[in-house]
Amino acid sequence: MHNFQTYVLVKSFHIVLLSLFICFTYAQKPQSDALSIQLKPVNSKGISTQEVSIPIVTIDSSNTVDIKAEFWDNVNFNPYRNEIVKFPFEVKFEDSTYHSPISREKVITSRYGWRRGRPHKGIDIDLITGDSVSTILSGVVRFARYSRGLGKVVVVRHYNGLETAYAHLSRINVKVNDTVAKGQFIGKGGNTGRSTGSHLHLITSYKGQYIHPEYIFDFSEENKIRAKDLWVTKEWTRASFHSSRRKSKLELYTTEKQALASLVKTRKIYVVKSGDTLSRISKRNNVSIAAICKTNRIRKSSTLRIGQKLVLEL
């Protein structure tokens, strides 16, 4: 490029004599992705032609993937209801950061997990009604309407198949099939649907499987995507394995091998001591109450006896 500019400058001195004849040749050799231009002065003899080569920018794969090919449904919030997803599954990212959905500092008021006896399948981020909400990654709007429970909600499908949903909005400012760029304004935050107090309920899902958003995204101000290649196990999709009130212990699986290895549990026998409760055993051994109950076929309300043996799957 520099050579080309110098060449143009020199040539401008001879501009009276010359008219440039530009010959474009598209280099079709597969090994060179460049546009080759031959510059040839027409009315001046003795000046050799010069060839400049301009690299062709490779088209980003996000523009070539047809994310609307399957399950493109603008009426149902979850069109994947009968789709069977094999675990663990892979989610890949081209970006290493996402765009914050809100412009103020992100304050998490409730996490993905079990909450008041029911699953909370999203993360709550505090905001004030009327605050701008942006899509965290580029994609196409699949759903933009009122849905019971979620209120006014926008679902964006991204080029890696991941979907993000922005719920309880006071206003929707996009239409279905709109292409949206990372960070683009999509609506205003609010308190519509089943919600107490204005906040953004952010959902991340893949083919209808809800994923713990904190497994994928770091909600600190750095807006980092945790890994370019993530393997999702059932543990990161089931709300019952997590608590909405505390941060889950994070262990990322960046290969299928790691994800599969994580499924091999070690068993430990725990003997109930005086003063033990399910909650205390759960916290101290880092095993969810739900998991303890399932493995031992007991209820959350069951009374524990001193000396009782419990199997803990670690």
Q: Torsions phi, psi of 138, nearest 5?
A: -70, 155
Closest approach of Zn ion to the CB of residue 283, in Å: 23
Could you tell me the CA-to-CA distances from 226 to 97, 213, 220, 302 in Å, in that order?
8, 10, 11, 38
Closest approach of Zn ion to the CB of residue 164, in Å: 14
By beta-carbon proximity to Zn ion, the closer residue of 126 and 312 is 126
Strand partners, 310: 270
Element at 78 (helix H, strand E): none
Closest approach of Zn ion to the CB of residue 281, in Å: 28
Q: Please tell me whether residue 126 binds Zn ion under the rule CB under 5 A.
A: no
By beta-carbon proximity to Zn ion, the closer residue of 29 and 116 is 116
Closest approach of Zn ion to the CB of residue 162, in Å: 19
By beta-carbon proximity to Zn ion, the closer residue of 158 and 201 is 201
Distance between CA atoms of residues 281 and 273, nearest Å: 10
Strand partners, 172: 187
Element at 156 (helix H, strand E): strand 151-158
Residue among 122, 151, 187, 190 that touches Zn ion (CB under 5 A): 122
Closest approach of Zn ion to the CB of residue 195, in Å: 7
Distance between CA atoms of residues 42 and 93, nearest Å: 51
By beta-carbon proximity to Zn ion, the closer residue of 135 and 244 is 244
Residue among 201, 212, 238, 242 that touches Zn ion (CB under 5 A): 201
By beta-carbon proximity to Zn ion, the closer residue of 160 and 205 is 205
Tell me which stretch binds Zn ion (CB under 5 A): 136-144, 199-207, 224-232, 248-256.
Answer: 199-207
Closest approach of Zn ion to the CB of residue 240, in Å: 16
**Which residue of this chain has its Cβ atom nearest to Zn ion in the complex?**
201
Q: Please confirm whether the linkage preceding 55 is cis (ω < 30° from 0).
A: no
Residue among 79, 89, 114, 124 that touches Zn ion (CB under 5 A): 124
Distance between CA atoms of residues 119 and 195, nearest Å: 14
Distance between CA atoms of residues 294 and 166, nearest Å: 33
Could you tell me the CA-to-CA distances from 132 to 30, 141, 148, 166, 199 in Å, in that order?
46, 17, 22, 11, 12
Closest approach of Zn ion to the CB of residue 314, in Å: 30
- The footprint of Zn ion (CB under 5 A) covers 122, 124, 201
